[in-house]
Chain A
């Protein structure tokens, strides 16, 4: 299909604000260099370059470089907190920023949370998980689905690790957790969908379920017999504890099949029969192929990714255009993710100028996205490079969200969340991010900003290098933030309000650094607190 977005982009057609708008979706920050690159390469050319660009340092390599692999009597191998440091380092500092951004979106569809991960090496378990999302961010959905299924962390999170076949003597049944969630959350969802993401209806006008409990119970057999692969692991005797320290290879190796623990029963789910006694690897392949081929996967996955990147309420036509690309990238490949991102970001509905008359346009920026966008854009000095940024999930003292710290496999918020008592609800629209927005979080966020924007977070300090030279010019400072953080989405009235207030600081070109930073941080606080910024359009 020929869309506006598929036409060669005229370079001159892209303004700074348009480039910033595109960048703030495709990745986190929008620096001057980024804006120049988009203008020079065009949207599509820029995307091609990102897909080809070099990978950053892996989470595991970074943990090693920081000494988090040390085996000492402090027993840091049990401590999860370096898992937070690892993911913040990845998101804030690694150069493959679009890949990181896409992986962050994927991490909200395929959810593993550090919260319950315990035992040996939780930071390395999360690093291996994150690495899979990065590896496959521009790869194929089917490959990703298999790696997700066999990942050590997912095995712990949704209990495929140690999942045993049925035992008629004791009455034990296979664990159904992964079988249920791979259908409900990771592939097809609860209800049959049209290619445009809307629900199919039966003759009575009711939605049609995709699966029933019997499908879950039978599919559960497929996921029996797996456990962490300890074949490369060393068991080290140490003086300070009376059981061996296990080395971390198991965290990144796919889970291993123990055939004797695998159910050989016939499997029947969603119309597929896998005969009794089919070898486990073949069974897994057949089951995942069957799920991957289900017509729901494209619209179900793509709509949520559009919600993460562009808008809470994409039109059915937009969903269909992206889902069509999921079904076939133009070269007969199903599930090609780099083509999906491209379709999402270059769709006419995404690139059309925001309609000022549309009171439901865009999406609420996620708290994590706000912090990343700020840090990636204003410049930060990482100090000692330890990235000691902790779990920020608390709404009163944090930002109400933290990467890889979802409270459950249902993500920080649900794609269909409707905030009660709102014009959004009355219009039948959705606003997922409002599920983590309330009287506490709105205040906690601004309080967090007030400290972080001026003084940073632990060792992590903003530099505002581009802003210090213009700090005496309030209008220029506001314009800078307006372009780089909001793609010029602040109204003239808001710009004036902020600039006028900033003038009260009376900064002169010769003023000292501290005063300039006070003024710049104040400007940033006002911009990042403004609803016109918070809603990304």
Chain B
């Protein structure tokens, strides 16, 4: 296979194609698709020893029933019957209906379609670069419906505070309750600290503070969409004076015996020390991928763009193994689900697809794996014009290393009465976060012998590699 990515002309041609795809509506034929581009550029440069995991967290609890939607007639009719007014009609799903690359038989012969607002992700699925993981969620140990309904919590413990936003966000990120200080992304990062010239650039949040990227040793480094923020007052005297500049520097970086004060100056020292290094490296990155494919602000696209630029600066920064965290808010769609969820799906589609194109542009699409997470799934039963907090959900893994174009996990019945749900269509997860995480961690290079340190409950589950990578 010709490695067209390394020749500037082809790269431009490919970007042109990317922008053409971006300009198309959902119904347009996506003949020039991202996936074929990915295949064409698949041969990653030799000696490119780099790997990154990128967690896309959908805050608020993504409505999985309207993200990956039953499409075959029988199951769509069930979906319509249970969801009522917040459903998609079958005809609206035709353009984003999914056909696995190899025939795959799911529960009740389910076939799915993506939300109509995910046309670019559909292209990635078709090209084998995206895999949905079905009904994954927080579990300590596998549980059946009967065990869930029973009272033997010693034998069948449940994660703390199911259905509660903050607690389940923390469980997804740290496999513990709110107040946890170590996340599984950070624990994976602990194994990578020595791989990077700048250990602080191992675990990076382009979103707010997130326990996901805090390890036992690894610290979260936070970066804004425009890069690291310099403290202007210690670089230019402005209306002050050189002496005032120096005093400011001293004040904001001095150690203190008071723990809160000391933590502030510790963060400030990290901020100042990394700013020059990071911005210096970023200034040399030229990234042509367009992250602004549809009108309107998209904070997820802004965050993924700075992640892409940091990946672009990996050689300059001596980064070889990195964990990133980005997020999008607003998924708690108790009402007006149809409109608001569509808007957010569009943003996810734009941001994640652009990010994949960027990894192709940089020739690292096989070295960067992006995956989604969220507080919880939602009820299949509607509550008027929205849905309520659920448990298990469907998630996506995207990247050149992903064995995509097929499903992983077990498809749940489209039902509010079967034993794979716990009422109102709240899915009882059939795959645990731990298994999802273990598969990602294995790909990233965490040795199997260390997996129980990263994921303390992994031993409770059969199958620690789900095979999507």
Proximity string of chain B (232-246) to chain A, C-beta cutoff 8 Å, 1 when within and 0 when not? 110000111111101
A-contacting 9-mer, from B17-25, B250-258, B442-450: B250-258
In this assembly, does A242 line the interface, its C-beta being within 8 Å of a C-beta of chain B?
no
The verdict on A396 contacting B226 (CB below 8 Å), with A190-B164, A440-B271, A501-B241 known, is yes
In this assembly, does A479 line the interface, its C-beta being within 8 Å of a C-beta of chain B?
no
Q: Which residues of B contact A425 (CB under 8 A)?
A: 181
Those of A273-328 within 8 Å (CB) of chain B = 312
In this assembly, does B84 line the interface, its C-beta being within 8 Å of a C-beta of chain A?
yes
The verdict on A504 contacting B242 (CB below 8 Å), with A172-B84, A175-B334, A531-B256 known, is yes
Q: Which residues of B contact A409 (CB under 8 A)?
A: 165
In this assembly, does A410 line the interface, its C-beta being within 8 Å of a C-beta of chain B?
yes
Q: Which residues of A contact B246 (CB under 8 A)?
A: 501
Q: Which residues of A contact B205 (CB under 8 A)?
A: 438
Q: Which residues of A contact B238 (CB under 8 A)?
A: 450
In this assembly, does B264 line the interface, its C-beta being within 8 Å of a C-beta of chain A?
yes
Q: How far apart sit A502 and B248, CA to CA, in the bound complex (Å)?
A: 11
B179 touches A408 (CB 8 A): no
Those of A39-57 within 8 Å (CB) of chain B = none
Q: Which residues of A contact B221 (CB under 8 A)?
A: 439
Q: How far apart sit A170 and B260, CA to CA, in the bound complex (Å)?
A: 54
A518 touches B59 (CB 8 A): no
B268 touches A442 (CB 8 A): yes
In this assembly, does A494 line the interface, its C-beta being within 8 Å of a C-beta of chain B?
yes
Those of A147-179 within 8 Å (CB) of chain B = 158-159, 161-164, 170-177
Q: Which residues of A contact B211 (CB under 8 A)?
A: 420
Contact of A501 among B164, B178, B243, B335 (CB under 8 A): B243
In this assembly, does A360 line the interface, its C-beta being within 8 Å of a C-beta of chain B?
yes
Q: How far apart sit A457 and B248, CA to CA, in the bound complex (Å)?
A: 22
B251 touches A526 (CB 8 A): yes
In this assembly, does A131 line the interface, its C-beta being within 8 Å of a C-beta of chain B?
no
CB distance from A357 to the nearest CB of B (A): 9
B383 touches A174 (CB 8 A): yes
In this assembly, does B384 line the interface, its C-beta being within 8 Å of a C-beta of chain A?
yes
Q: How far apart sit A362 and B178, CA to CA, in the bound complex (Å)?
A: 22
In this assembly, does B259 line the interface, its C-beta being within 8 Å of a C-beta of chain A?
yes
In this assembly, does A6 line the interface, its C-beta being within 8 Å of a C-beta of chain B?
no
Most buried by A among B167, B211, B241, B257: B241
A518 touches B240 (CB 8 A): yes
Q: How far apart sit A418 and B329, CA to CA, in the bound complex (Å)?
A: 22
Contact of A407 among B163, B214, B329 (CB under 8 A): B329
B261 touches A535 (CB 8 A): yes
In this assembly, does B262 line the interface, its C-beta being within 8 Å of a C-beta of chain A?
yes
CB distance from B467 to the nearest CB of A (A): 32
The verdict on A447 contacting B232 (CB below 8 Å), with A162-B385, A173-B381 known, is yes
In this assembly, does A470 line the interface, its C-beta being within 8 Å of a C-beta of chain B?
no
A525 touches B224 (CB 8 A): no
Shortest Cβ distance from B228 into A: residue? A439
B-contacting 9-mer, from A101-109, A371-379, A428-436: A428-436
Q: How far apart sit A425 and B180, CA to CA, in the bound complex (Å)?
A: 10
Those of A399-452 within 8 Å (CB) of chain B = 407-410, 414, 416-425, 427, 429-431, 434-444, 446-447, 450
In this assembly, does A361 line the interface, its C-beta being within 8 Å of a C-beta of chain B?
yes
Q: How far apart sit A270 and B208, CA to CA, in the bound complex (Å)?
A: 36
Q: Which residues of A contact B263 (CB under 8 A)?
A: 419, 422-424, 431, 434
Contact of B275 among A408, A436, A443 (CB under 8 A): A443
Q: Which residues of A contact B229 (CB under 8 A)?
A: 396, 439-440, 443-444, 447
In this assembly, does B406 line the interface, its C-beta being within 8 Å of a C-beta of chain A?
no
Q: How far apart sit A434 and B257, CA to CA, in the bound complex (Å)?
A: 17
Contact of A525 among B81, B186, B233 (CB under 8 A): B233
In this assembly, does B101 line the interface, its C-beta being within 8 Å of a C-beta of chain A?
no
Q: Which residues of B contact A526 (CB under 8 A)?
A: 244, 247-248, 251
Contact of B251 among A176, A359, A494, A521 (CB under 8 A): A494
CB distance from B5 to the nearest CB of A (A): 32
In this assembly, does B270 line the interface, its C-beta being within 8 Å of a C-beta of chain A?
yes
In this assembly, does B452 line the interface, its C-beta being within 8 Å of a C-beta of chain A?
no
Those of A511-534 within 8 Å (CB) of chain B = 518, 521-522, 525-526, 529-532, 534
B244 touches A502 (CB 8 A): yes
Most buried by B among A174, A216, A396: A396
In this assembly, does A454 line the interface, its C-beta being within 8 Å of a C-beta of chain B?
yes
Q: Which residues of A contact B423 (CB under 8 A)?
A: 213, 217
Proximity string of chain B (268-288) to chain A, C-beta cutoff 8 Å, 1 when within and 0 when not? 101110110000000000000
Q: How far apart sit A171 and B382, CA to CA, in the bound complex (Å)?
A: 7
Q: Which residues of A contact B230 (CB under 8 A)?
A: 443
CB distance from B388 to the nearest CB of A (A): 5
CB distance from A112 to the nearest CB of B (A): 14
Q: Which residues of B contact A434 (CB under 8 A)?
A: 209, 260, 263
In this assembly, does A68 line the interface, its C-beta being within 8 Å of a C-beta of chain B?
no
A424 touches B60 (CB 8 A): no
Those of B298-353 within 8 Å (CB) of chain A = 329-330, 332, 334-335
A414 touches B334 (CB 8 A): no
Q: Which residues of A contact B248 (CB under 8 A)?
A: 446, 525-526, 529
Q: How far apart sit A427 and B239, CA to CA, in the bound complex (Å)?
A: 41
Q: How far apart sit A516 and B129, CA to CA, in the bound complex (Å)?
A: 63
Q: Which residues of B contact A435 (CB under 8 A)?
A: 208-209
In this assembly, does A184 line the interface, its C-beta being within 8 Å of a C-beta of chain B?
yes
Q: Which residues of A contact B223 (CB under 8 A)?
A: 439-440
In this assembly, does A395 line the interface, its C-beta being within 8 Å of a C-beta of chain B?
yes
A427 touches B259 (CB 8 A): yes
Proximity string of chain A (317-355) to chain B, C-beta cutoff 8 Å, 1 when within and 0 when not? 000000000000000000000000000000000000000
In this assembly, does B402 line the interface, its C-beta being within 8 Å of a C-beta of chain A?
no
Shortest Cβ distance from B329 into A: residue? A407
Contact of A176 among B82, B226, B233, B388 (CB under 8 A): B388
B182 touches A525 (CB 8 A): no
Q: Which residues of B contact A439 (CB under 8 A)?
A: 221-223, 228-229, 267, 270-271, 274
Q: Which residues of B contact A184 (CB under 8 A)?
A: 164
B161 touches A535 (CB 8 A): no
In this assembly, does B225 line the interface, its C-beta being within 8 Å of a C-beta of chain A?
yes
A443 touches B385 (CB 8 A): no
A420 touches B334 (CB 8 A): no
In this assembly, does B424 line the interface, its C-beta being within 8 Å of a C-beta of chain A?
yes
Shortest Cβ distance from A523 into B: residue? B244
Q: How far apart sit A414 and B177, CA to CA, in the bound complex (Å)?
A: 13
Those of A455-510 within 8 Å (CB) of chain B = 494, 497-498, 500-505
Contact of A213 among B162, B165, B334 (CB under 8 A): B162
A522 touches B334 (CB 8 A): no
In this assembly, does A364 line the interface, its C-beta being within 8 Å of a C-beta of chain B?
yes
A431 touches B271 (CB 8 A): no
Proximity string of chain B (386-417) to chain A, C-beta cutoff 8 Å, 1 when within and 0 when not? 10110000000000000000000000000010
In this assembly, does A21 line the interface, its C-beta being within 8 Å of a C-beta of chain B?
no
The verdict on A436 contacting B265 (CB below 8 Å), with A163-B384, A173-B424 known, is no
Q: Which residues of A contact B33 (CB under 8 A)?
A: none
B252 touches A446 (CB 8 A): yes
B84 touches A170 (CB 8 A): yes
Shortest Cβ distance from A527 into B: residue? B251
The verdict on A417 contacting B226 (CB below 8 Å), with A174-B383, A362-B260, A408-B329 known, is no
CB distance from B288 to the nearest CB of A (A): 24
Shortest Cβ distance from B240 into A: residue? A522
CB distance from B225 to the nearest CB of A (A): 7
CB distance from B363 to the nearest CB of A (A): 29
Q: Which residues of A contact B379 (CB under 8 A)?
A: 173
Q: Which residues of A contact B384 (CB under 8 A)?
A: 162-164, 172, 175
B271 touches A443 (CB 8 A): yes
Q: Which residues of B contact A421 (CB under 8 A)?
A: 181, 214, 219
A-B contact pairs, 6 of them (CB 8 A): A164-B383, A173-B381, A176-B334, A424-B259, A522-B244, A531-B251
Q: B-side interface residues toward A, CB under 8 Å?
A: 59-60, 81-82, 84-85, 161-167, 178-179, 181-182, 186, 205, 208-209, 211, 214, 219-226, 228-233, 238-244, 246-248, 250-252, 254, 256-268, 270-272, 274-275, 329-330, 332, 334-335, 379, 381-386, 388-389, 416, 423-424
